Amino acid sequence: MNARKARQHEQVSAEIDAFAHWFAKPDPSAGHFLTLTLFAEAPDTARVARDMTAVFLRGAGVDAMVDDAQLIVSELVGNVVNHVVPERGLAQPGGSRRMDVSFKLWPKWLFIGVADEDSTPPLLPLGDVFSPGLMGELSEAVLPDSGRGLLIVQRLASAVWWTPGEGGGKTVWCRMDVGRGAEAGSPC
């Protein structure tokens, strides 16, 4: 097998391994887990989510991931605060919009999920719309009006996806590879 095929095989094996761990039943001896319940109408929701992200990751010994993970959580929580309209059966009229922020950390991966009460799928960006050469000094003018937050999440995470909730709602997930940023000098 040539070097290119070997790298490709190694990458596919790593993705399959991450996928298998994602669906594994949580085992407290194998990783660290945390779920926070927050409310979109609280004035400090985003700050609390960022602060708890840092506390969780530092407590788990992965300090190098804190900044990128805080930005990801901030963007995902911000999307709930700014865009989610709860379904009738999941929220009371005039009530607070609930979200759950979940962290699952294994030795190789950090999974972050933000669940909300809206079943509408997120609009995940497909990639760059414009060539970097066309951006020039007017980059703000040529970027789309929405989807910037999820584009940031896609750039920082190794994978981004969403799952529908059993009784309605959805969870937007991302996976970060532990150690990738520190070793390669790139974002986690």
Q: How far is CA 166 from CA 33, 75, 79, 117, in A?
A: 21, 24, 21, 11
Q: Tell me what pLDDT residue 96 has.
A: 81
Q: How far is CA 175 from CA 15, 28, 83, 161, 180, in A?
A: 10, 19, 22, 9, 12
| Residue at token pair 């390669």 | 184
Residue range 123-172, pLDDT digits in tens? 876 655 555 555 555 555 555 556 678 889 999 999 999 999 988 899 99
The whole-model pTM stands at 0.73
Q: Report residue 25 as tokens.
A: 């039943």
The DSSP line for 142-159 is HS-SS-HHHHHHHHHSSE
